[in-house]
Structure 1
Amino acid sequence: MLSWIIRKILGTKNEREVKRLKRFVEEITKKEKELDPLTNREIRQLAQDLYTKVLNDEELREDITRGKIREEVLLAFAIVREAGKRTLGLRFFDVQLLGGLVLHEGKIAEMKTGEGKTLVATSSAFVNALTDRGVHVVTVNDYLARRDAQWMGPIYKFLGLKVGVINSDYSSYLVEWVDEELAQRAIEENLRVWPAGYTEEVLPSHLASVEAKKAFFTKLVPTTRREAYEAHITYGTNNEFGFDYLRDNMAFSLEEIVQVKGHHYAIVDEVDSILIDEARTPLIISGPAEMDTEIYYTADRVVRKLVKDEDFTVDEKHRTVHLTESGIKKLEQLLGVENLYDIRHIDLLHAIHQAIRAHHLFKRDVHYIVRDNQVLIVDEFTGRVLPGRRWSDGLHQAIEVKEGVPIQQENQTLASITFQNYFRLYTKLAGMTGTAETEALEFKEIYGLDVVVVPTHRPMRRIDHPDLVFKTKKEKWKAVVDIIKQEHAKGRPILVGTISIEDSEHLSQLLQKEGIPHNVLNAKHHEKEAQIIAQAGRLGAVTISTNMAGRGTDILLGGNPEYLAREILIKRGKDPQEASQEEWKEALEEAYRITEEEKKKVVELGGLLVIGTERHESRRIDNQLRGRAGRQGDPGESRFVLSLEDDLMRIFGGDRVKKLMEVLKIPEGEPIESRMVTKAIENAQKRLEAQNFQIRKRLLEYDNVMNTQRMAVYAMRRDILEGKGLEEYLEEFVRDVLSERVKEFLQEDDPELWDTKSLEEYLRDLTGEEINLPTVRDREELVELVVKKVMETLSKKKEELGEELYQQVLKIVMLSTLDHLWREHLHILDRLREGIYLRGYAAKDPLVEYKKESFYLFEDMMRNFKERVLGDVLRLQVRSPEELEEEIQREEEEKEELLKKAVYLAPQEKADQKGPKRKTLKERLQSRRKKT
């Protein structure tokens, strides 16, 4: 009661935040009036002067990095608003500036769909680009990265900034003017896209000078990955930023490193999708591992003979499977083994578990699709295919066998990081999405990010109806088709959301039978995504879409005139890129006339109707679907049509609703429409969200253990790569290794019992020299003596090689050894994690045990690293190129002699002489080159 009274008097925390930021927006608007009379050239010069000022004022630079709002920041926002008007014909709404300030402060801006988040990001990106420390704008797919960079490119280019784009196929681009000469003339002659006397509304861009509009067209020009990162602002996907970080930490030269500016500021679009939904899957760079594919075929063959609930059980809620006693006996008979749980059969048992999961938990056209003889994962949150991504731990191979496609080689981890730990590398992190408030606690707890809900530009007019719940899926689909048929007859645009490809194609078939024209947008038909979504608001349009998260294109009532103008030009046989000013103007005017007429009719019909055919396990995905209707004050409606056979209803709480329907004797085809039922479904979603949060949190807790080790290894690796203190490292290795070895060989307290002979042998093996130890009774004194002798040997090696070559040798030996041991360490940690949960049966916390074990393993790895590096450097042989060529020639001649003799050997003698093949010096050199 008290908190309610305080909220009424003082307002909520969010209301107070918005009120505070609105004062800054008013200051920006005052500056806008001062900037409006200036020419394009003067605006550009003002931006350049501000850039120079920030670079020369370290305190200002740090304040911007920390997200402080100063006078210079407000001026920068006003400059971006002015640039937006002059190049794109888009004037920032006040709420868009407010959203930009939220991003600048390093928070999450929750802005409804259609509020122009793509434009919002430019203000904060520009301000932080002034520090020249690099800004990363993170999108959910390559298309959006390219589109947003090119679309917003004119603002940045106008203000003198460089913009880069990185894509998952390793292509990289810089944003450049389509016509450099025309762009410069537009700036010099003060051409504006925005006509004089603008109002607060965004004026139709076709009213502006077509010549000015063409002057500010941009294109993507191929460039190197490094140059794309050296730009002031870089657009790309979360996966690629993460993979480039891992690849940089596997580089063998500084020239290979691409993220040259580090990690200072990132703006994450669809922040909930990237930082929460995708956070359960770590980024992994892997290489081929040895494997026997036959084991997967054997597992698949026997699993097909097992009976569900008799031989094994499936827990859909936790996505796990368990063999029963009868199932174990049946498998032992089928496989002809005495004990399936014998250590010799552990790999086969694991493959059997994965085969059961593949058959009973992973469905085709829901979790994956089969295309071009490959199993491709479908992102459960966005409905998009994830090319190049594979399930780990043999699951992908099990699904490949199930679907009868060739098994691809299993991989071993070379480097990995979770999205949580990658994005926590950034000094300042910000995000924007239409739905973040439901996950505010997780954002705060994991990333330290506050969520600010930014008010809409116009009041929300969308009507959200209670859910309709039917007994069976058959009844549900009939009801969905009936609603579509009824509303389509009026000409109302309809967007139908499904949660799987299977459902979208099933509904498509039902609509085809009814003769209703429609578009399908899912992982199989995503090439024309932007076009389909852009025109989903046209009169009579019916669009079926699998998940709407991160589509990045607004649904405009009546259709998108820009896209329609392109279609008109194409129908007239014209290429939109090559069309003349007059042709463009004519096409745009016709497109605006058509869309304006259609918009009036669609508004009269109640706007866009959104139908959800199943509840997602996350309320945010449902809200994203709803958010497609009612953008910027448009009318609209949303309705979810469900059945008790839907996965969420079946697994969570569907029985209660079923009993209620039976008690009320609701006939077939009649739904329950009740706020109480909708509330029950939301509660089920909340429970599932909480469960998923715990999974993500647990994943992070385990990765944090590895992250500490990862950061230590990567820091040492960067020092080695940059050649920092290599000899100091080596001296430290000498002292650490020899101290341990002396203690190992001289364990006895009585010096008379010390095993100095074994220590001398070890030193001879290590250095390749005879080292006779004098009689010393103090262990520490002996350590100093041994260290001194080994350092003398290293000094000789340095003289022999010369300073430059010695440094190069140290670098190569250290890097190759560290990389090899780190890969092995990751593999061991993977295996440790698989079985660590069993410690729970001994009343021990698996996480605590994992921390202990991984610490010991890391210590062991570092011990091996130091000893191997030391041994390799000390035993290094120096040969001239001529000597190497002579030895290679000698080996080749010896090989030919052996081959001649082998011709006269009897078959039995030849068999007896078989043995492990020894690599020639030439092969060893080639192998070493490949490694380094």
Structure 2
Amino acid sequence: MKKTLWLKNELVLPYAEFVKQVKDFCWRNTSDQELKEQLRFCSLQAVSLGTAKLYSILKEIVFRCMGITLFDSQLAAAYSMQCGRIAELPTGEGKTLAAVLAAIFFALQGKSVHILVFNDYLAKRDCISNQSIFNFCGLSSSYIDQTTKSPERKKAYGCNIVYLSAKEAGFDFLRDFLCTKKEDLLFPGFQVAIVDEADSILIDESRIPLVLAGDAPKSQTHAVHIHNAVSTLSQKDISIEKSKNQVWLTDLGIAHVEQFLHLENLYSEENANILGMVSAALEARLLLKKDKDYIVKDNAIQVIDESTGRVAVNRKFPDLLHHAVEVKEQITGESCTMVYNSMTLQSFLLQYKILCGMTGTIYSSAKELKSMYGLEADVIPPHIPCIRIDHEDEIFNNKKGKIKAIVSEIQRAYEKGQPVLLGTQSVEESEEYSELLTAQNIPHSIINARNDEREAEIISRAGEPYRITVSTNMAGRGVDIKLGGKDEERKDFVRTVGGLYVLSTGINRSIRIDNQLRGRAGRQGDPGESKFFISMEDSLLTTYFSDNELIEIQNNVNIYNKKRLSKLVRRVQKREEGKDAEARYMLERYAYILEQQRNLIASYRTEILLEELELTTFQEQEPDIYQKYVETAGKRGVKCAENQLTLYYINQHWADFLMTMENVRNGIHLMIIGGKSPLDEYHRISIAAFDEMIEDIKKDVISSMKKYKITSDGIDMEEAGLSGATTTWTYMIDESNSQFRRIPQLMKTVSNTINGTVFTLQQIFSKFKKK
């Protein structure tokens, strides 16, 4: 890792010598045509592309197109990305333009560049705002969002530079797995990815797998009956461990459920699916909270992203859990989920030949970044030192005292005209504070998952005088907050009253996310303030400390000095950061074998789709029938039919395989009881299942070749009832590593009240494979 250099307590600009060389060139008196010729000359000299001369030309082009003179920090950040690193550049320093320079550098070498941003709004905004620069350089550019149709997507991917969210790119790659015609393929390949908001995408979102799913029929009856069974449970029937986000049945609870559902043994093999539905109903009722984990909108369950407070568009909980939440909220779902393909965002990004990026907060996670991606980070100081005042944490015994203090602080700031951005922990909390401010006659705006379509507009005005903005976590990220808003005359007034004041209703699970919130104030040398208000009753602390420990701290809060108490609280946050890092590490280990298998099956499928692989299984195993078909349909028709069926059955069996492995992984911790390694057993089962899947594909292809009519054009798949998925979406998988800490739960669950033996994973595996 590159060492951070300090001189007289100030951070030294990395690549300062290179930046100096860039500034030694002057193109101000050069015509546009001459400037383009100089750029073309540089682009032809591949070895010299990284020279200061190229950057000096690009700097001049930016000035002519945008009227902006690039800061030294932007030039250094662009060069850092060009070197394949992650540049940490403070909020307001112009990371977007720094990415433009790096993108042009790569595109001039003939590489396809994907600029992966945080959301659709930023993809469209950044592409449109920088298009004149790309056009000047003779490069094509476009953007993709969720509304972009397939023809437009293919055209966009054909551009030199394309802006889109990381997830959107990942899902396009997964959707190609469902294509049955090579002309329908979308994703162009992995050349260069420049990741904006790199900490969120590379680290926070890396533990949420990209899952492509579609409809499959389901019955509502079982879920409702099981929901009713769970709803009648008493406190004695359930054990909850908040710190691990777990809930399970006690012996009394098991007996109650078995009696209610008329089961002899809830834990027998034939009741495996019912047990899964009971677990999902327990989690939906006792762990997932409305307006925190999800909202009900347009008669549907909409999942809230925990790191942003936004609705995660097209995301669902895992099938059984999502269905359980629908039943809990009395929403009638028409279908359940069938997983067609899945991969982690990390696995997707690692396929790019060149991966680099930028963010405002990454260095505190530099070790994890290096471990997960092999990437180094550079800290780029702001062009003007930050003068924001970061106040010490305010810690209270209870939430009531914290809430009163926050409202009082907002009132004080409002009276003098200082704009306030209040970061809350959930939709529910944001609305609670909104009601309190309304009661105090304090005008304000609110951004949460219920009105996130207006978040860019609302957050852009958050720096206006007397403006109070209540927001869930990091809503509006990527949108600059300018003091005074669009009116420069009001900027001086806001500066004199202290600049933007960022308040938070609690600390987040990661110090990086806290720093992201702080970074909304104090941009480009502007004044600003930040303060975090913490209650000992906040969920982050109540899940860490026992009730007795909390009471002791609350009773002796005066004994602790402010700094000591703050260190204690921040130590809890550090522990949660460690747990999340461990979860990402566990996901990586479990995803590794599946990712290798996905690569194998995807490569096999692509070779068939592109007709690069000659299938001979049918000819070898059924030579007489093969010859008969050739006489009536021709070799081309028989080959087309075998290709069609192989592609179809690859999709069907891969979906079954993923379902099997998800169920295996959800219960893999049972192996601990037998003294076995869960990870080793998971790998062993996945390898056996994959080999069996390949054989099953071949068997089904041969059987169907005999069954369906084959013509010179192959098989009419729709007429044969073998059409693929028509609707797809994504859902969220909880990748918490808590499944490996369930020994106390297992010892309580596996008790004398259970008749017979707890089902084994091999039995579950066999059961699902027979379906």
Q: Residues 48 and 798 of structure 1: is their aligned pair in 2 closer, same or farther, counting only changes over 3 Å?
A: farther
Confirm or deny that 1:480 pairs with 2:406: yes
Q: Residues 838 and 409 of structure 1: is their aligned pair in 2 closer, same or farther, counting only changes over 3 Å?
A: same
CA distance in 1, matches of 2:55, 2:365: 29
For the Cα contact (< 8 Å) 2:309–2:472, is it kept in 1?
yes
Equivalent position SS for 2:313: coil
1:682-721 deviation line (CA, Å, top 9, x unaligned): 2111111111111111112111111111111111111111
Q: Give the structure 2 partner of residue 227 of structure 1.
A: 155
Q: Structure 2 unaligned runs (5+)?
A: 727-771
Confirm or deny that 1:332 pairs with 2:258: yes
Confirm or deny that 1:272 pairs with 2:199: yes
Q: Residues 871 and 297 of structure 1: is their aligned pair in 2 closer, same or farther, counting only changes over 3 Å?
A: closer
Shift of 1:879: 5.5
Shift of 1:617: 1.1
Q: Give the structure 1 partner of residue 734 of structure 2.
A: none
Superposed, which structure 2 residues align to 1:248-263 within 5 Å? 248-260=176-188, 262-263=189-190
Q: Residues 637 and 924 of structure 1: is their aligned pair in 2 closer, same or farther, counting only changes over 3 Å?
A: closer
CA distance in 2, matches of 1:353, 1:158: 59
TM-score where L is the length of structure 1: 0.74
Equivalent position SS for 1:415: strand
For the Cα contact (< 8 Å) 2:636–2:712, is it kept in 1?
no
Confirm or deny that 1:103 pairs with 2:81: yes
For the Cα contact (< 8 Å) 1:80–1:122, is it kept in 2?
no
CA distance in 1, matches of 2:354, 2:444: 44
Q: Residues 496 and 930 of structure 1: is their aligned pair in 2 closer, same or farther, counting only changes over 3 Å?
A: closer
CA distance in 2, matches of 1:725, 1:266: 30
Q: Residues 518 and 549 of structure 1: is their aligned pair in 2 closer, same or farther, counting only changes over 3 Å?
A: closer
Rg bigger for which structure? 1
For the Cα contact (< 8 Å) 1:73–1:127, is it kept in 2?
no
Shift of 1:645: 1.2
Match 2:516 to one of 585, 603, 624: 624
Amino acid at match of 1:243: F
Q: Residues 490 and 93 of structure 1: is their aligned pair in 2 closer, same or farther, counting only changes over 3 Å?
A: same
Amino acid at match of 1:326: L
Q: Give the structure 2 partner of residue 911 of structure 1.
A: none
Amino acid at match of 1:819: N
Superposed, which structure 2 residues align to 1:13-32 within 5 Å? 21-31=15-25
Equivalent position SS for 2:162: strand
CA distance in 2, matches of 1:249, 1:333: 45
Shift of 1:366: 0.8
Match 1:611 to one of 490, 503, 508: 503
CA distance in 2, matches of 1:481, 1:20: 42
Superposed, which structure 2 residues align to 1:73-88 within 5 Å? 73-88=51-66
CA distance in 2, matches of 1:866, 1:424: 31
1:628-668 deviation line (CA, Å, top 9, x unaligned): 111111111111111111111211248656524413569xx
1:318-345 deviation line (CA, Å, top 9, x unaligned): 2111111111122223333332223333
1:325-382 deviation line (CA, Å, top 9, x unaligned): 1111222233333322233333222212211211221111111111111110111111
Superposed, which structure 2 residues align to 1:262-661 within 5 Å? 262-308=189-235, 310-548=236-474, 551-559=477-485, 561=486, 591=487, 595-596=488-489, 598-653=490-545, 656=549, 658-661=551-554
Q: Give the structure 2 partner of residue 814 of structure 1.
A: 646
For the Cα contact (< 8 Å) 2:648–2:722, is it kept in 1?
no
Count of equivalent residues: 724
Amino acid at match of 2:645: V
Note the aligned Cα RMSD (angstroms).
2.9
CA distance in 2, matches of 1:459, 1:20: 15
Superposed, which structure 2 residues align to 1:719-730 within 5 Å? 719-726=607-614, 729-730=615-616
1:472-515 deviation line (CA, Å, top 9, x unaligned): 21111111111111121111111111011111111111111111
Shift of 1:803: 4.8
Shift of 1:152: 1.4
Confirm or deny that 1:687 pairs with 2:575: yes
CA distance in 1, matches of 2:272, 2:550: 43
For the Cα contact (< 8 Å) 1:467–1:677, is it kept in 2?
no
CA distance in 2, matches of 1:143, 1:332: 50
Amino acid at match of 1:829: M
Instruction: Compare 651-660 and 387-396 and name the one that shifted more.
Output: 651-660
Shift of 1:157: 1.6
Confirm or deny that 1:835 pairs with 2:667: yes
Shift of 1:870: 5.2
Shift of 1:734: 7.0
Shift of 1:256: 0.6
Q: Residues 816 and 30 of structure 1: is their aligned pair in 2 closer, same or farther, counting only changes over 3 Å?
A: same
Shift of 1:802: 3.8
Equivalent position SS for 2:306: coil
CA distance in 2, matches of 1:487, 1:16: 31
CA distance in 2, matches of 1:830, 1:434: 35
Confirm or deny that 1:927 pairs with 2:721: yes
Shift of 1:545: 0.9
CA distance in 2, matches of 1:341, 1:637: 56
Amino acid at match of 1:925: E
Q: Give the structure 1 partner of residue 656 of structure 2.
A: 824
For the Cα contact (< 8 Å) 1:111–1:432, is it kept in 2?
yes
Q: Structure 1 unaligned runs (5+)?
A: 1-5, 61-69, 173-222, 562-590, 667-671, 736-762, 770-792, 885-920
For the Cα contact (< 8 Å) 1:816–1:931, is it kept in 2?
no
Superposed, which structure 2 residues align to 1:734-745 within 5 Å? none
Percent sequence identity over aligned pairs: 35
Shift of 1:228: 0.4
TM-score where L is the length of structure 2: 0.88
Q: Residues 628 and 718 of structure 1: is their aligned pair in 2 closer, same or farther, counting only changes over 3 Å?
A: same
Equivalent position SS for 2:368: helix
CA distance in 1, matches of 2:634, 2:41: 50
For the Cα contact (< 8 Å) 2:214–2:725, is it kept in 1?
no
Shift of 1:238: 1.5
Amino acid at match of 1:645: E
For the Cα contact (< 8 Å) 1:491–1:540, is it kept in 2?
yes
Confirm or deny that 1:865 pairs with 2:753: no
Q: Residues 826 and 923 of structure 1: is their aligned pair in 2 closer, same or farther, counting only changes over 3 Å?
A: closer
CA distance in 1, matches of 2:257, 2:194: 52
Confirm or deny that 1:129 pairs with 2:107: yes
Q: Give the structure 2 partner of residue 120 of structure 1.
A: 98
Q: Residues 854 and 664 of structure 1: is their aligned pair in 2 closer, same or farther, counting only changes over 3 Å?
A: closer
Q: Residues 880 and 544 of structure 1: is their aligned pair in 2 closer, same or farther, counting only changes over 3 Å?
A: closer
1:90-131 deviation line (CA, Å, top 9, x unaligned): 111000110111111111111111111111110001111112
For the Cα contact (< 8 Å) 1:397–1:408, is it kept in 2?
no
Q: Residues 431 and 307 of structure 1: is their aligned pair in 2 closer, same or farther, counting only changes over 3 Å?
A: farther
Amino acid at match of 1:92: L
Shift of 1:845: 0.8
| Structure richer in helix, relative to its length | 1
Q: Residues 767 and 622 of structure 1: is their aligned pair in 2 closer, same or farther, counting only changes over 3 Å?
A: same
Confirm or deny that 1:703 pairs with 2:629: no
1:516-554 deviation line (CA, Å, top 9, x unaligned): 111111111222222222221111111111112661111
For the Cα contact (< 8 Å) 1:467–1:673, is it kept in 2?
no
Q: Residues 499 and 870 of structure 1: is their aligned pair in 2 closer, same or farther, counting only changes over 3 Å?
A: same
For the Cα contact (< 8 Å) 1:48–1:160, is it kept in 2?
no
Q: Give the structure 1 partner of residue 144 of structure 2.
A: 166
Superposed, which structure 2 residues align to 1:888-899 within 5 Å? none
Shift of 1:843: 1.1
Match 2:606 to one of 711, 715, 718: 718
Equivalent position SS for 1:524: coil
Q: Give the structure 1 partner of residue 749 of structure 2.
A: none
Q: Residues 683 and 228 of structure 1: is their aligned pair in 2 closer, same or farther, counting only changes over 3 Å?
A: same
For the Cα contact (< 8 Å) 1:520–1:544, is it kept in 2?
yes
Confirm or deny that 1:245 pairs with 2:173: yes
